[in-house]
Structure formats: C-alpha cells, structure tokens
A and B are shown apart, each in its own frame.
Chain A
Amino acid sequence: MGEALEWIGGMMAIAGSLFCVIGGIGMLRLPDFFSRTHAASIGDSLGAALVLLGLVVYESAQWFQTQESGGSVSVIIKLLLLLGFIYVVSPTATHALAKAAFAGGVRVDSVAAPGSASDEAQSNLDGQEGSPR
C-alpha cells in the first residue's frame, strides 16, 4: 500500500514536471507575448498542481511504511498552502503582466493576415513597440 502510494506520487510529480517542460517549450516557441502567457499558465496550473499533489501523496505514503515516524501533517499542510498560494498569485501576476503589456503597446495582429507577413518580422515589430525605455 505504501509503496503503491509512493509510486503514484512519484508518477504525478513526473507528469507535472513534463507539463512544466511543455510550458517551457511553448514559452520558447510561441510567436508573440499574449500566446506566451498561455504557455506560462500551463506550467503554473497543471504542472504545479500535479507536482505538489504528487508530493502530498508521496508524503502520506509514509504512514503505511514506518510505525513511529510517519508522514507529518504539517508538511502536507505546507504543500497545500503552497498550492493555494501559487493558484492565487500566478494568475494575478499574469493578468497584471498582460494588462501592462497591452497598455504598453504590445498588440496581436497576426490574426488579421495569417501567412502574409512573416512571423519573424511580426515579432520584431512587437518587440520594438513594447521595448523598455
């Protein structure tokens, strides 16, 4: 029972880290800023949830393995606190970033003419519009 729970927890952590890798690939390859916010939210939501819940399962597996020093409740509470914190804070930060980028002149105009303008020229244009002072 304990080993099975440990295995499930490890698999959840690996799945979450895979979602983080997917978010990183999207962050690297997606064309403009607003689609990159989508890639960032993958790792923040699904990746963080799977890794932290996997660690909760992994910690609760200790109750079935050792008699005297089982998994501690405070560790599980801290993990759930961390998960709730990430779930509250990360959309807030992404929302503030997207709003600031829109106010700062970053626009999506690859919707108007798909395929006509090259993506590289488009991203260069976006970069110049939203460049820091």
Chain B
Amino acid sequence: MLQLAIVGILVSMALNLIRACLGPSVFDRALAANAFATVTVLLIALDGFVNERPEFLDLALVYGLLGFVGTLAVLRFWKYGNLASDERPKA
C-alpha cells in the first residue's frame, strides 16, 4: 500500500520537474523546486517505512531544511547577484 503512495509521489515529482524545466520565469522554477523538495521529503519518509528503516526520517528532516534554505538562497541570488552582499532590501 505504501508502494502505491510512492508511485503517486514519483508522478508528482515528475510533474514538478517538468514545470521546473519549462517554467518561463525564475520564480516558476524556484516554486517548482520548492514543491519538489517538499515532495522529496515525503518520498524519503515513505521509502524509510517501505524498507523498514525509519532512520530515514532524519534524512527527511535534513532535506527539508536544505530545501528551504535553497529556495531562500535562489531568491537572494536573484535579487543581489551574489550571496554575500550586506545591503538590506529597500522596502
């Protein structure tokens, strides 16, 4: 039964990935990558349960953190051109 859920999750990942490849603006790509990260967290959790190794939940937690930081890093890079600038946003 969890294998069926994994199949659904994989289909959703493929759809998000197509949008990330097509998506006309950089925001569409970042949004699709963010949704992809969330769905990947679910995939790792389900995979840990299918293989009877629930330790994979730790990996899922770390992957969720990395996905959030990655989205914010993409947005910051889009706005400032680098990741190390000190200037504040204007408004």
Contacts and interface: CB of A to CB of B under 8 A. Distances in A.
A52 B71 CA distance: 22
Contacts of B4: 10, 14, 17
B68 A93 contact: yes
B57 A10 contact: no
A133 B80 CA distance: 11
Contacts of B25: 33, 101, 104, 106, 126-127, 129-132
Contacts of A43: 12, 35, 38-39
A23 B54 CA distance: 26
Interface string B18-33: 1100001111101110
Contact of B60 (A6, A24, A82, A90): A82
A24 B49 CA distance: 23
A96 B60 CA distance: 23
A51 B34 contact: no
SS of A interface (majority): helix
Interface range, B side: 35 or more
A36 B28 contact: yes
Contact of B42 (A52, A89, A92): A52
Contacts of A20: 8-9, 12, 39, 42
B11 A21 contact: yes
A67 B28 CA distance: 50
A82 B57 contact: yes
A35 to B, nearest CB: 11
Nearest to A39: B35
A124 interface: yes
Interface in A87-133: 89-90, 92-94, 96-97, 100-101, 104, 106, 123-124, 126-133
Interface of A: 6-7, 10-11, 13-14, 16-18, 20-21, 23-25, 27-28, 33, 36-37, 40, 43-44, 47-48, 51-52, 54-55, 58-59, 72, 75, 78-79, 81-82, 85-86, 89-90, 92-94, 96-97, 100-101, 104, 106, 123-124, 126-133
Task: Give 7 nearest A-B pairs by CB, closest first.
Answer: A127-B24, A17-B8, A10-B1, A24-B15, A130-B25, A20-B12, A13-B5
